[in-house]
């Protein structure tokens, strides 16, 4: 029996020795790596907070008598969300990752700022209190007549109030895009946000009557119309760095002086004698401007939007772009 146990133990040791080697870092290595990653995380959120504060400051500058609002980041929260409450606009880490550019983040923050400037927050609190009181009164009255009907009536009252909030969401979208465009951010970015939201968060594709927010397709179509209007009216002018540079012809070499005879008559009617040369420079060609005008920027941006929306073909887009960059020639 002892020999059998010894043989089993020996075989087990041989198998363990022949097995794969598993690396386990030491406690010191783990602590060192944890410290490095913690420092990187703090730096990441420091930069994101600066980004949110910078964009928020530019948006507030577009508001007459702006409200006192603090822009904050909810660290570690991975839900794609943003919200507004009294004196504060919050954006989650998930939304910061979702909004790929400052233009997109400006659309998100502008929307929440719109809730502030349009008094949606205070109105929502008052409406919520009135709705609860009305729903409770209806429930008590109907339950005394038909048990169970009060709960249905109360739900209908609260649901109808939620549907009314959809109009406030549309209003905040429009007002926020105006702030963003006036601050120099591309309003077309809101269209990109809603399109990506519909694709990556398919629950937003539809919205029931009692939902508090409109569906992504509804908000996308409304945002596209607003963005086009802001570009066409000149509220937003495309940044020079985002517009393809105009083609510039090679500079024309300066023409050599032209030698022409100078008439020196001795008397009226006499033929010239001993004509002397004189240098007359040719007329220089006008310089070619390498920078399109602001009107051209607006036209180029509208053309770009039309192409992205599928309203014109690629061939027409390229042809019209060349025409604009060449000054209509």
49-66: pLDDT as tens digits? 999 999 999 999 999 999
Instruction: Return the bridge partners of 112, or none.
Output: none
Among 159-168, 169-178, 206-215, 233-242, which stretch is predicted with the lowest mean pLDDT? 159-168
Using the structure block, give the residue that is written with the tokens 């192409």: 307
How far apart CA 42 and CA 48 sit, in angstroms, is: 10
Residue 7: inside a domain: no
pLDDT band at 98 (very low <50, low <70, confident <90, very high): very high
pLDDT, residue 125, reads 46
Which tops the pLDDT comparison, 91 or 327? 91
pLDDT, residue 76, reads 92
Do 194 and 71 reside in the same domain of the chain?
yes
- Does the pLDDT at position 223 exceed 70? yes
Taking alpha carbons only, the member of 128, 157, 126, 129 closest to residue 141 is: 157
Task: State the chain's mean pLDDT as an integer.
Answer: 74
- Does the pLDDT at position 264 exceed 70? no
- Does the pLDDT at position 226 exceed 80? yes
Residue 12: inside a domain: no
pLDDT tens profile 292-307: 566 665 677 677 667 6
Using the structure block, give the residue that is written with the tokens 């990187």: 40
- Mean pLDDT for 87-114 is 96
Which tops the pLDDT comparison, 3 or 188? 188
Distance of CA 219 to the CA centre of its chain: 14
Do 70 and 180 reside in the same domain of the chain?
yes
pLDDT, residue 166, reads 87
Which tops the pLDDT comparison, 325 or 147? 325
Residue 312 in 3-state DSSP?
Answer: coil
Residue 65: inside a domain: yes
Among 178-187, 218-227, 266-275, which stretch is predicted with the lowest mean pLDDT? 266-275
Using the structure block, give the residue that is written with the tokens 């607006």: 298
How far apart CA 240 and CA 242 sit, in angstroms, is: 5
pLDDT band at 185 (very low <50, low <70, confident <90, very high): very high
- Does the pLDDT at position 25 exceed 70? yes
Distance of CA 159 to the CA centre of its chain: 32
Do 306 and 210 reside in the same domain of the chain?
no
The sign of the CA dihedral 127, 132, 133, 139 is positive
- DSSP assignment string, 241-290: GGSPPPP-PPPPPPPPPEEEEE---SSTTPPP-S-EEEEEPPPPPPPPP-
Residue 207: inside a domain: yes
Residue 278: inside a domain: no
pLDDT, residue 286, reads 40
| C-alpha separations of 299 from 188, 273, 277 in Å | 15, 62, 52
Residue 74: inside a domain: yes
Total-model pTM: 0.60
pLDDT, residue 270, reads 45
Structural domain of 329: 237-241+292-329
Burial of 17 (0-12, 13-18, 19+ CB in 10 A): exposed
- Mean pLDDT for 86-91 is 94
The sign of the CA dihedral 290, 291, 295, 297 is positive
Work out the number of other CB atoms within 10 angstroms of the CB of residue 157. 20
Do 200 and 309 reside in the same domain of the chain?
no
How many domains would you assign to the chain? 2
pLDDT band at 193 (very low <50, low <70, confident <90, very high): very high
Do 81 and 145 reside in the same domain of the chain?
yes
């Amino acid at each position: 029996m002892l020999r059998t146990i010894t043989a089993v133990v020996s075989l087990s040791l041989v198998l363990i020795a022949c097995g794969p080697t598993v690396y386990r870092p030491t406690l010191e290595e783990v602590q060192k790596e944890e410290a490095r990653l913690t420092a990187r995380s703090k730096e990441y959120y420091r930069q994101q907070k600066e980004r949110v504060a910078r964009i928020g400051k530019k948006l507030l500058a577009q508001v007459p008598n702006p409200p006192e609002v603090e822009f904050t980041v909810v660290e570690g929260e991975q839900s794609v969300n943003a919200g507004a409450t009294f004196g504060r606009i919050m954006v989650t880490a998930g939304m910061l990752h979702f909004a790929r550019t400052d233009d997109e983040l400006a659309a998100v923050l502008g929307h929440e700022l719109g809730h502030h400037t349009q008094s949606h927050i205070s109105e929502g609190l008052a409406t919520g209190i009135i709705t609860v009181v009305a729903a409770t009164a209806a429930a008590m009255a109907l339950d005394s007549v038909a048990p169970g009907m009060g709960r249905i009536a109360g739900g209908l009252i609260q649901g109808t109030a939620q549907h009314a909030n959809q109009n406030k969401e549309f209003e905040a979208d429009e007002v926020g895009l105006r702030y963003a465009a006036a601050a120099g951010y591309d309003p077309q970015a809101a269209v990109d946000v809603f399109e990506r939201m519909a694709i990556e968060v398919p629950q937003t594709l539809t919205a029931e009557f009692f939902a508090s927010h409109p569906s992504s397709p509804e908000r996308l179509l409304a945002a596209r119309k607003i963005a086009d209007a802001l570009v066409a009216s000149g509220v937003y002018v495309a940044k020079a760095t985002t517009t393809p540079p105009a083609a510039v012809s090679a500079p024309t070499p300066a023409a050599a002086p032209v030698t022409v005879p100078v008439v020196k008559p001795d008397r009226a009617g006499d033929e010239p004698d001993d004509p002397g040369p004189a240098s007359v420079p040719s007329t220089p060609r006008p310089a070619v401007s390498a920078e399109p005008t602001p009107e051209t920027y607006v036209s180029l941006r509208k053309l770009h939007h039309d192409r992205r929306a599928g309203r014109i073909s690629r061939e027409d887009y390229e042809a019209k772009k060349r025409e604009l960059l060449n000054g209509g020639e």
